[in-house]
Chains A and B, each alone.
Chain A
Amino acid sequence: MIRKNIATNEFGFVFNPSTGDSYSSNPIAAEVIRMMKENIAMADIRKSLFEKYDVEKTILEKDLDDFILILKENNLLAV
């Protein structure tokens, strides 16, 4: 789950107030972060993206896993 104090905006700007790091995310990444902040379960996020975008399920799952790893590496996920 994403850290509660992470600040985001509609343009994909992400700010980690614990470290002062900031990031730019693309629109889909921003959408994923928004859903995570709303405490939507990963399975539902996956389903929502699959319904919305023209993408193969395996690619979507791989990209989503990669993205979660990036969030983790950047200390954006709650321990």
Chain B
Amino acid sequence: MSEQSTLVIAVTGLNAIDSPGPGVAVIRAIRDGLKRPVRIIGLSYESLEPGIYMDGICDKVYQVPYPAAGSDVLFNRLVYIHEKEKLDLVIPNFDAELFSFIKIAPRLKQLGINSFLPSFEMFDARDKLNLYAFGQKHGLLVPKDRIIYNTDDLMQICEDLSYPVVVKGKFYDAVVASTLEQAHKAFYKLSAKWGLPIIIQQHISGTEVNIAALGDGEGSAISIIPMRKMYITDKGKAWAGITIEDESLLDLARKFISATKWRGGFEVEIMMTAENELYIMEINPRFPAWIYLSAGAGQNQPATLVKMAIGEKVEPFKDYDIGKLFIRYSWDLITDVSSFQQISAFGEM
């Protein structure tokens, strides 16, 4: 591959909605930061994902099967797309699809499609179901939790953890419950949506801080950007945020990368208490939706991941701009029904 050849990159997570996927932000960062021609192939799950229709984001979009269809179905679809597009790299951006992508990564590599993903072992270590044990093992603060498959012990668990508790879905969503009734309701709502088990977690009050980071797979941190949420939606998503300077946050991310030898991008969700304790609430195994801020702050993580994925040597970033803000906005995009028809009927556009 010559220096100036066009790099063909497939990206998922085009749902730039109120609880956005990271795909559009990842693509923006790659287009901004990769000093070479790129062709972006969007991979969508639904016909109304805004990233399908946004100008200057995807050069071509293909629908892909939902993770529930299994990794072989996904692999076959990617083979079809590869035959047409000659993919160099694929960047999955959803928690729920990562298992399948990690599983088929060696087969994709044989076809010449690179990826830069954690191993199953790394992926499992930060899973919500294992996070407390992981924290205990590595000296990281994680709220106490219990994993449940039914509501038999719910009353006792809530009393043990003391109210309020956080009821969390297996993949997404969390509800703060102040009473047993609320905890019951949240259990059924979240299990109906995301399946079992459900996590009941100790509630921690404080300031919400997130970290976006990139590990090289050998235990070193290539980039770490801490962000304080300034405006939070009713779904708990950052609608505005600012980069901050706090060595303890950088240390925490370094500790996680060193412990797991994390390969790829990830996000740590932290609650900073009034006593300056840093509780890890969740670790998401992919870039966050606000990842474009990393480019704005001088450490373009998606573009750097692309370089690492195609085998370029990169040096760890040293500095970033403190006090850089992102403010998300909504925008009514007008398109013709023919575009919607095209992606709905043919699964590509």
A, B in one complex: yes
Q: Which residues of A contact B (CB under 8 A)?
A: 5, 7, 15, 17-20
User: Can you pick out 19 interface pairs between chain A and chain B where the beta carbons lie within 8 Å of each other?
Assistant: A5-B245, A7-B323, A15-B323, A17-B244, A17-B245, A17-B322, A17-B323, A18-B244, A18-B245, A18-B246, A19-B207, A19-B244, A19-B246, A20-B228, A20-B230, A20-B241, A20-B242, A20-B243, A20-B244
Give the residues from 236 to 256 in chain B that come closer than 8 angstroms, CB to CB, to chain A: 241-246
Q: Interface centre among B227, B230, B242, by most A CB within 10 Å? A: B242
Give the residues from 287 to 324 in chain B that come closer than 8 angstroms, CB to CB, to chain A: 322-323
Closest-CB distance, B112 to chain A (whole angstroms): 43
Report Cα–Cα, A17/B244, bound state, in Å: 5
Which residues of B lie under 8 Å from residue A7 when comparing CB positions?
323
Instruction: Return the chain A residue nearest B242 by Cβ.
Output: A20
Instruction: Return the chain B residue nearest A7 by Cβ.
Output: B323
Report Cα–Cα, A42/B325, bound state, in Å: 34
Interface of A is mostly: loop
Q: Interface centre among A5, A7, A18, by most B CB within 10 Å? A: A18
Which residues of B lie under 8 Å from residue A17 when comparing CB positions?
244-245, 322-323
Which residues of A lie under 8 Å from residue B245 when comparing CB positions?
5, 17-18
Report Cα–Cα, A70/B296, bound state, in Å: 32
Give the residues from 204 to 256 in chain B that come closer than 8 angstroms, CB to CB, to chain A: 207, 227-228, 230, 241-246
Report Cα–Cα, A7/B228, bound state, in Å: 16
Report Cα–Cα, A5/B227, bound state, in Å: 17
Interface of B is mostly: strand
Report Cα–Cα, A19/B228, bound state, in Å: 7
Closest-CB distance, A4 to chain B (whole angstroms): 11
New A-B contacts (17) at CB < 8 Å, excluding given A19-B246, A20-B241: A5-B245, A7-B323, A15-B323, A17-B244, A17-B245, A17-B322, A17-B323, A18-B244, A18-B245, A18-B246, A19-B207, A19-B228, A19-B244, A20-B227, A20-B228, A20-B230, A20-B243
Instruction: Return the chain A residue nearest B276 by Cβ.
Output: A75
Report Cα–Cα, A28/B102, bound state, in Å: 59
Report Cα–Cα, A28/B241, bound state, in Å: 29
Report Cα–Cα, A17/B322, bound state, in Å: 6
Instruction: Return the chain A residue nearest B228 by Cβ.
Output: A20
Report Cα–Cα, A62/B204, bound state, in Å: 37
Instruction: Return the chain B residue nearest A15 by Cβ.
Output: B323
Which residues of B lie under 8 Å from residue A5 when comparing CB positions?
245
Closest-CB distance, B244 to chain A (whole angstroms): 5
Closest-CB distance, B227 to chain A (whole angstroms): 8
Report Cα–Cα, A15/B228, bound state, in Å: 13
Q: Interface centre among A7, A17, A20, by most B CB within 10 Å? A: A20
Report Cα–Cα, A51/B279, bound state, in Å: 49
Which residues of B lie under 8 Å from residue A19 when comparing CB positions?
207, 228, 244, 246
Which residues of A lie under 8 Å from residue B246 when comparing CB positions?
18-19
Which residues of A lie under 8 Å from residue B227 when comparing CB positions?
20
Closest-CB distance, A41 to chain B (whole angstroms): 27
Give the residues from 27 to 58 in chain B that come closer than 8 angstroms, CB to CB, to chain A: none
Instruction: Return the chain B residue nearest A20 by Cβ.
Output: B228
Instruction: Return the chain A residue nearest B246 by Cβ.
Output: A18
Report Cα–Cα, A4/B242, bound state, in Å: 19
Which residues of A lie under 8 Å from residue B243 when comparing CB positions?
20
Report Cα–Cα, A17/B246, bound state, in Å: 8
Report Cα–Cα, A18/B249, bound state, in Å: 10
Closest-CB distance, A75 to chain B (whole angstroms): 9
Report Cα–Cα, A7/B207, bound state, in Å: 20
Binary interface encoding of chain B residues 139-169 relative to chain A, with 1 for a CB under 8 A from any of its CBs, else 0: 0000000000000000000000000000000
